[in-house]
Copies of this chain bind each other. A is one copy, B any other.
Amino acid sequence: MKVQRVDMFVCPSATPADTSGLQSLVDAGKVTRDNLVALVGKTDGTGFHDDWGRVWADAVLREWTAKLLGVAKDEVAKHVIFVLSGGCPGVITPHIAAVTREWVEVAQAPAEKRLVVGRAGSEAIAPEEVGRMGMIRKVAAATHEAMRDAQITDPKDVHLVMVKVPGLTVSSTVDAESRGHTVVSHDLTFGPEGAGSYANDAAALGVAMALGEVPESKLSDGVVRRDWDLYSEVAMTSSGGEKRHGEVVVFGNSAASASELVIGHAVTKDFIDAQGVRDALRAAGIRFDGGLPVEKDLDRLVHVFAKSVIPGSDVVRGQHITLLDDHNAYQIGKALGGMLIASVTGRTANYVSGGERNSHQGPPGGNIVAAVVRAG
């Protein structure tokens, strides 16, 4: 029987242009032109709009990957998905995680479900669909396709869905309006009424619809960034640039896998909920004696993916906080997510994105945490 074998390698980056860790993996035969599926990372810098660290990293990684694959730079996206999240405030170590997938023949499936990965591109998403039902449905369809590619049939086996969708730009807005359509917002930022936030959140609802977390009947243009009770527990989404299609990567566990890795997830119930982080570790198979992960067992932890969306409310467990009033809330909010993870795992090379206010990625006030663990 032919099954997937997925691996994940986390390389710290000394600078945004550091490809030495990836190159070592290539030199060691662990990453090849045939098995590389995705590069997912956090890049050194502020994470603000004019953070050139992320852009530089993207340029260098695309060039490196093009060389590895022997294709032109603008062909890279067809073969390898890039998810680079800018900004490593506090205790988030800049890093790139390489995800590889091979198909191997095995005599029989392993006793427990193991990590699989699947990818899909969506249909083209028009600017008038951004942040609305059009985007929700197309992301849902692509999520289904990525599940098939991952050979997952039960949505419960999906533990992380990373999505990139088109945002709005000045020119795509003009395009939509010239064709008689409206757009979801003229604010192109990731602010509370920004098109970027609407795009991210419609993508999250698309995942939720595909996985049955939210029934299609409850979805409409009007619920996006309004009805926070609708959300996905596994979607991490981003949007931007002049993209025209969505990209979806599904991570889950499957019996049809020869991977040594397992993935699990949980959500935090609020912004300071370390228990939610521990739940994610436990879900992925880390052993606990009493309340804390067994320290030695943490060596099996390969990677953590977490959102750190800041709450829409200024009250946490009944106490007033002033984060929403802070000019640097976006950066501080992300940093705090980094601390929440690191203080539980004792490791700082975690993928933590966020900083925006409110989201359909995770429950109101809470956040998504997924952990990948080497099977014990």
- Residues of A whose CB lies within 8 Å of any CB of B are 12, 14-17, 44-46, 48-53, 55-56, 59, 88-94, 185-189, 191-194, 271-274, 289-292, 316-317, 319-323, 325-328, 331-333, 335-336, 339-340, 342-344, 346-349
**How far is the CB of A131 from the nearest CB of chain B, in Å?**
13
Name the B residues within 8 Å of A194 (CB-CB): 187, 191, 193
Contacts of A272 in B (CB 8 A): 91, 339, 342-343, 346, 348
Residue from B15, B55, B332 in contact with A90 in the complex, judged by beta carbons closer than 8 Å: B332
A201 to chain B, nearest CB (A): 13
What is the CA–CA distance of A340 and B340 in the complex, to the nearest angstrom?
Answer: 7
Chain A facing B: main interface SS: loop
Per the bound structure, the CA–CA distance linking A112 and B348 in Å amounts to: 41
Q: How many copies does the complex hold?
A: 4
| Chain B residues with CB under 8 A of A342 | 272, 316
Which B residue sits closest to A338, measured CB to CB?
B336
CA distance A56 to B92 in the complex (A): 22
Additional 6 contacts, C-beta under 8 A, given A46-B50, A50-B327, A332-B332: A46-B46, A91-B316, A91-B321, A93-B319, A291-B292, A336-B339
Question: Within the assembled complex, what's the spacing in Å between the Cα atoms of A298 and B127?
Answer: 44
Give the docked Cα–Cα distance between A52 and B55 (Å): 9
Contact B50 A322 (CB under 8 A): yes
The complex places the Cα of A74 from the Cα of B249 at a distance, in Å, of 40
A93 touching B336, Cβ below 8 Å: no
